[in-house]
Structure 1
């Protein structure tokens, strides 16, 4: 039988495997069943953890190492990727290196207190590299401060007011952002790109606090408190920064309502205040790794992530891969640690099948103890269904 050309393009399995490790485990399992198949490994990211690792594999660039603050103020290693391109230089920043939930122990996850100050340090380092474009990947954060910490690091206001976490913003004075205009001017001549995995606004039922606060450790009461604090922050912004005008209608734009303003606990909003524009993180990465060219020569696409749930259907890697595969006329399947959505929800994306590594509590425990081995075994079983060359 003819060998099958399979593109293996997963996101990271958060907390257990990087995207590269997941792709390698899937490939090993596939070869266990169908050693004659041709496999192309394309680890991916949607802007969250692994963003720099994935882009560093695909793009020729220089990695600038530095030390920044994590969400609770500890020093952690981080990097900026600088890439020369026709007409200029681009710096890529992964916000999760400084604000990631994975940096916090379970008892440290408190979005009332965590800060994005370290992300501001990363963006400052990018500015110092004499670039004309900065791309900031957002996702996987453990913060909910509307990017106030980032703005403080850029000189927009005092750190003792803006960099103490989301809840402290409720008591911020009217003059807390006197340096915001000057901070925005630092990006004059720089294309600031905000690569997000979600399109949520900053406030409301679909906002940062309500939707993502709980996974960062917020109780319902704390999520409501944070909603009020971020609302107070937008009031201070309105007193400080003139609203930009919509180019079509000429009416003022409410940046807190813009799609992606709620990404990474509101980091999207802060970057919009600095003149940033939003793009889909997964689409940016797919273009960077040459995904569309590779799938044209392939038969099947296998993607995956730790938990495939309703959020996965909205701007995450699996959804982006499935849509791109559908456009190329290829089937795609999802191999995830857990699958929490049904066939009806995935049909619209063109996904041909979803497969879970773990379906029972015992299997979840086993997967956490041996993530590579259990993912490899599941990939081997999936190959029995999808490989004609076995």
Structure 2
């Protein structure tokens, strides 16, 4: 049997490469005669640069950026030279990742995305004419306001880089420098690879859908929703005619704001998708972007079953994450998709609608979850071994 192991990371516990190796080892224990191939993936979040480096080659360049709370943070850029020039791949999680903020200090009303702007500037200084930014796994919820400051926005000191909380007081008059900033970045092609396809605002947006996991209380999440809405209105008003018109929406003053805030991926990484779109970036699904660059379709075509996985399979997983992307592509090739995850929090109906054939949790009870966190390699390998006994023929 030809088995393709194509997982994402298990949060900050195991990298995608470690997950793939562990699942493959467990499968081989149960079915030593099977042909097992490893293909680590990413969706724009943690592991984005590492996965692309393995697939594309290139040179990694270490840099130091501003972390979510203002402290220096180490990051890496991947630089790849091609026939059309130099491309830099950067990972927002290096600059604003949730692990950079201790649990007791997590507060998305205060954390800033300034470090992502540092990454953009570093990439441009290295001569990149195309910059691909992977978004996901952030500790921030400021709609990219801090990123804009570090990218060169002329604005009053402290106005935009103090987190999402104060953004409700920002006006269009404060953001008159956005036009000049957008013009300065016009010679760099910006591509944003997002880990989720959610909008900036609303029930599944940056604040309502994700602020809680970054440390926000329900009241803070509501405040952030209002603040990001006000900031988005101010920013799109300041840019005005610089934004591409929405021909379907007509000439309504709110059409540009609605298009940018409601775009799939605008809410990724605390709204960084929206902030980068203000600079003229093109937003694309991260899982699809990576899958194309690692040649996933050709690997699926040569397989009988694909095993994917992530730390927690939940509603977010069905909105642009790796598992959903793998399942969609596997359906085209007529092979089943099996998910092995740390936890499984979606039901059979949702799994079936996403094209996932079966899903197995490493930890099904609180005790098992604690055991998995304490020894992730052993527990994941054991679960993969049991899954192989079911699926290998």
Residue 315, structure 1, aligned to residue 323, structure 2: no
Cα deviation for residue 323 of structure 1 reads 0.7
Aligned match for 2:366, one of 358, 361, 368: 361
* 1:191-249 alpha-carbon deviations (Å, 9 max, x no partner): 21111122222122232111111111111110111112112212321342114212666
Cα deviation for residue 356 of structure 1 reads 0.7
Report the equivalent of 2:146: 149
Report the equivalent of 2:24: 27
Cα deviation for residue 173 of structure 1 reads 5.0
Query: What is the total number of aligned residue pairs between the two structures?
Result: 385
**Secondary structure at 1:184 match in 2:** helix
The answer to whether the 8 A contact 2:198-2:319 is kept is: no
Alpha-carbon distance change, 200 to 349 in structure 1, aligned in 2, over 3 angstroms:
closer
Alpha-carbon distance change, 235 to 246 in structure 1, aligned in 2, over 3 angstroms:
closer
The answer to whether the 8 A contact 1:82-1:89 is kept is: yes
The answer to whether the 8 A contact 1:6-1:302 is kept is: yes
Alpha-carbon distance change, 159 to 321 in structure 1, aligned in 2, over 3 angstroms:
farther
**Secondary structure at 1:14 match in 2:** coil
Report the equivalent of 1:253: 256
Report the equivalent of 2:204: 206
Cα deviation for residue 171 of structure 1 reads 2.8
Once residues 206 and 296 of structure 1 are traced to their aligned partners in structure 2, the CA distance between those partners, rounded to angstroms, is 34
Mapping of residues 309-388 of structure 1, within 5 Å: 309-388=314-393
Mapping of residues 1-390 of structure 1, within 5 Å: 4-156=1-153, 157-242=155-240, 243-246=243-246, 251=251, 252-254=255-257, 255-388=260-393
**Secondary structure at 1:253 match in 2:** helix
Once residues 169 and 344 of structure 1 are traced to their aligned partners in structure 2, the CA distance between those partners, rounded to angstroms, is 40
* 1:241-284 alpha-carbon deviations (Å, 9 max, x no partner): 11421266664432222221111111011111000111110000
Cα deviation for residue 349 of structure 1 reads 2.6
Once residues 213 and 249 of structure 1 are traced to their aligned partners in structure 2, the CA distance between those partners, rounded to angstroms, is 30
> In angstroms, what is the RMSD of aligned CA positions?
1.5
Once residues 179 and 87 of structure 1 are traced to their aligned partners in structure 2, the CA distance between those partners, rounded to angstroms, is 31
Alpha-carbon distance change, 158 to 55 in structure 1, aligned in 2, over 3 angstroms:
farther
Gaps of 5+ in 1: none
The answer to whether the 8 A contact 2:191-2:283 is kept is: yes
The list of structure 1 runs, each at least 4 consecutive aligned residues, that deviate by more than 4 angstroms after superposition, is 247-252
* Worse-matched range after superposition: 143-152 or 81-90: 81-90
* 1:332-361 alpha-carbon deviations (Å, 9 max, x no partner): 100001111111111123222111101111
Once residues 202 and 380 of structure 2 are traced to their aligned partners in structure 1, the CA distance between those partners, rounded to angstroms, is 38
The answer to whether the 8 A contact 2:46-2:93 is kept is: yes
Once residues 384 and 157 of structure 2 are traced to their aligned partners in structure 1, the CA distance between those partners, rounded to angstroms, is 48
Once residues 206 and 347 of structure 1 are traced to their aligned partners in structure 2, the CA distance between those partners, rounded to angstroms, is 21
**Secondary structure at 2:137 match in 1:** coil
Cα deviation for residue 183 of structure 1 reads 1.5
The answer to whether the 8 A contact 1:209-1:265 is kept is: yes
Cα deviation for residue 387 of structure 1 reads 1.2
TM-score scaled by length of structure 1? 0.95
Cα deviation for residue 176 of structure 1 reads 2.6
* 1:76-107 alpha-carbon deviations (Å, 9 max, x no partner): 11011111223222111100111111211111
